Structure 1
Amino acid sequence: MELNRSLLKEAAGIGLISEQQADQLWKFLGERGKAAPSFRFTHVLYYLGGLIAIGAMSLFMTLGWESFGGLGLFFIALAYAGTGLWLTEFFLNRSRLPIPAGITATFVVFLTPLAVYGLQAALGWWAEGRVFREYHTHIDWRWMFMECATLASGAVMLWRYRLPFLVMPIAVTLWYMSMDLTLFLFGEADLIWELRKFVSLWFGLLMVLLAFWVDIRTRNDKDYAFWLYLFGVIAFWGGLSMMDSDSELNKFIYLCINLGMIVVGAMLSRKVFAVFGGLGAAGYLSHLAYDVFKDSMMFPFVLTIIGLGVIYLGIVWQRHEEEISNTLRGLLPLPMSELIERRH
């Protein structure tokens, strides 16, 4: 069960604690990162404004900025980074606003590729006409210098500020690096489509395992693993789903993997596993409906019965959830048991 503001108000309403104690407890839990965060319209404005600012210096960079030249871009990035660092300190230490502080700190990390690109351009590394905006759309091994610098700056900022949103640019950069590293190792001529799907799958799996390790290590702290899980699952599921399946057995294995993702998502309380696992399962059922049983009159009836059976299974699980959960947790290592208990 998640502890939120409404539960504390309910406890105050029935006299378990006073309203003043409820407010003080909520403030204490919020400062320690223990309370379940409520997503309000204020947060929408925070993230919307932050993503617009971040996008302006990355995804939405126009070709006109190339006229500033390499050194111009480098010093503009430094100026913006200095402003971002000042805002981070202001939001975090003076205003006690961790969400805006995390966004402005992340903005600083996203400026690293622009600064490195400016230096590379000034040194004549991009004589072939490559421009910065292609960093997010084209694969090129020379991006790796920018990616390594971004990982370094992200690690330093995360060590300094301990804000979970800072993991996002690290996860994105690792994803980019997996594609550029493949090009660097195998070359354009040998970089066939199947290899890229294979690399995406295994890189995604490694990122998910890294996220799980971070989740275990920070199980009593803030949620630092979310963005690693997100991009790891995207890379893994994307590579898996794009692979060619030449037999019904392989397609059935694909279904089983997606059902396994749903189970993992339920165990760890990570919705990203359940969402993509559900998409994969729906894709397999579409294959059955449109290819295997396209002329069958019974398939919709059977599918309906299966669906109702799953609902009944959920009812049975709910009735005995505490007993089953306690039994299963007793079989797990203590750190993982604590993680699951905290997430639920």
Structure 2
Amino acid sequence: MTVQITPTLLDDAARRGLLSTEQAQALWAFLAEHERERGHDTPSFKAAHILYYLGGLIAIGAMTLFMTLGWETFGGGGLLVVSIVYGVAALLLTEYLLERQHLTLPAGITAVLAVVMVPLAVYGAQNALGFWADGSHAGAYRDYHRYIDWRWLVMEFATLAAAAIALWRYRLPFLVMPVAVTLWYMSMDLTPLLLGADDTSFFSDLGRFVSLWFGLAMTLLAFWVDLRSRHTKDFAFWLYIFGVLTFWGALSSMDSGSEFGKLIYCAINVLMIAIGAALSRRIFAVVGGLGLAGYLGHLSYSVFKDSLLFPLALTAIGLAVVAVGIYWQRHEAAIGRRLRSSLPAPMRELVEQRRG
């Protein structure tokens, strides 16, 4: 059970002698200051936060996914200079937002903008040195985000190094986002180099296989980071987002081959919903819910398309789940204590903190 602490509640506690009036006032001042600081750090659906991310993602996308072919006319040296100017300007803006304005969310966005200029700078240097002289990937920087090629690895390693330095310097959770994306790119680009495969696009069988296991590995990494940073900022958020989406997207695009395989897919999605509830991570519940809905749609339109009982049975199952929810709500504290008592101490602290 979660109790909202208000000044009135603290005044009532003081009147009952549980703490003094001065203690109640000092405690409320501390909680108010903590909430103000947390509000600057924690992303939410506030109008300002939506504008931060919308504007930031537009700016980041402009220099990555939406880079036009016209920029190739600058040549390799020109691209290197432009990317350095952009990167330095973004870093100066990050310092200003942090040191002068104390705005961590927009500072994280400008820091990421500086990091994503690194692959463009490396590409510009490679181009100037004739690294792409064979003519492959005309307008190559646009292709960095679309095609798999082992030669992108230099850009990816440089991006990871820059992100690591930025994380060390600024300790801003949004900087984990380019790390997650770059690691995914790297997993796909390493495949043809290590396995000698020709087609490793996401939609190939090998691409799906690589993305599946990479997504699982990133999700486990996110959980480890979550445990390590449970008392500080949420550095695991973006790792969970990209890890779960990559894993679930690859899993959902695979051909299960049989009804039993589809049932296993359904069970995995139900498990993801449970994990999302345990860790208070909505991304698990969202994709798990989509997968479960897809499986039920498959049953309705394919397996039981002529059945009169299937909608009735599904209704009964749904109501049973609601009944379980009612029972859970009434006995949540006791059930939660029993379940958490069997967990290791760090995991128990993580679950309790995410719940609270």
TM-score interval (norm. to shorter): over 0.9
Listed as ranges, the matches of 1:1-344 within 5 Å are 7-8=5-6, 11=9, 22=28, 25-31=31-37, 38-127=44-133, 128-130=135-137, 131-189=140-198, 191=200, 193-344=204-355
C-alpha contact (below 8 Å) 2:40/2:103 kept by paired residues: no
Partners of 1:178 and 1:63 in 2: how far apart? 26
- TM value normalised by structure 1: 0.93
C-alpha contact (below 8 Å) 1:33/1:221 kept by paired residues: no
Partners of 1:219 and 1:34 in 2: how far apart? 18
Task: Report the AA paired with residue 161 of structure 1.
Answer: Y
Task: Report the AA paired with residue 181 of structure 2.
Answer: V
Shift of 1:158: 0.5
Which deviates more, 126-135 or 266-275? 126-135
CA offsets, 1:309-335, max 9 Å, x none?
111110011111110100111100000
Per the alignment, in what secondary structure is the counterpart of residue 32 of structure 2? helix
Gaps of 5+ in 2: 15-20
C-alpha contact (below 8 Å) 1:204/1:232 kept by paired residues: yes
Shift of 1:25: 3.4
Partners of 2:8 and 2:136 in 1: how far apart? 63
C-alpha contact (below 8 Å) 2:226/2:235 kept by paired residues: yes
Task: Report the AA paired with residue 226 of structure 1.
Answer: F
Partners of 2:84 and 2:198 in 1: how far apart? 38
C-alpha contact (below 8 Å) 1:74/1:114 kept by paired residues: yes
Partners of 2:6 and 2:101 in 1: how far apart? 24
CA offsets, 1:76-108, max 9 Å, x none?
111111111111111111111111111111111
Partners of 1:117 and 1:8 in 2: how far apart? 55
Cα 1:168–1:8 change in 2 (3 A) is: farther
Partners of 1:34 and 1:185 in 2: how far apart? 44
Task: Report the AA paired with residue 124 of structure 1.
Answer: G
- TM value normalised by structure 2: 0.90
CA offsets, 1:238-272, max 9 Å, x none?
11112211221111111111100000000000000
Partners of 2:2 and 2:76 in 1: how far apart? 50
Alignment coverage as a number of residue pairs: 342
Partners of 2:336 and 2:218 in 1: how far apart? 27
Shift of 1:179: 1.2
Partners of 2:351 and 2:40 in 1: how far apart? 15
Partners of 2:112 and 2:223 in 1: how far apart? 22
Cα 1:148–1:10 change in 2 (3 A) is: farther
Shift of 1:210: 0.3
Percent identity over paired residues: 58
Partners of 1:56 and 1:36 in 2: how far apart? 25
Shift of 1:36: 6.1
Partners of 1:305 and 1:280 in 2: how far apart? 20
Per the alignment, in what secondary structure is the counterpart of residue 189 of structure 1? coil
Per the alignment, in what secondary structure is the counterpart of residue 107 of structure 1? helix
Partners of 1:191 and 1:76 in 2: how far apart? 32
C-alpha contact (below 8 Å) 1:2/1:35 kept by paired residues: no
Gaps of 5+ in 1: none
Shift of 1:9: 6.2
Per the alignment, in what secondary structure is the counterpart of residue 98 of structure 2? helix
Cα 1:120–1:278 change in 2 (3 A) is: same
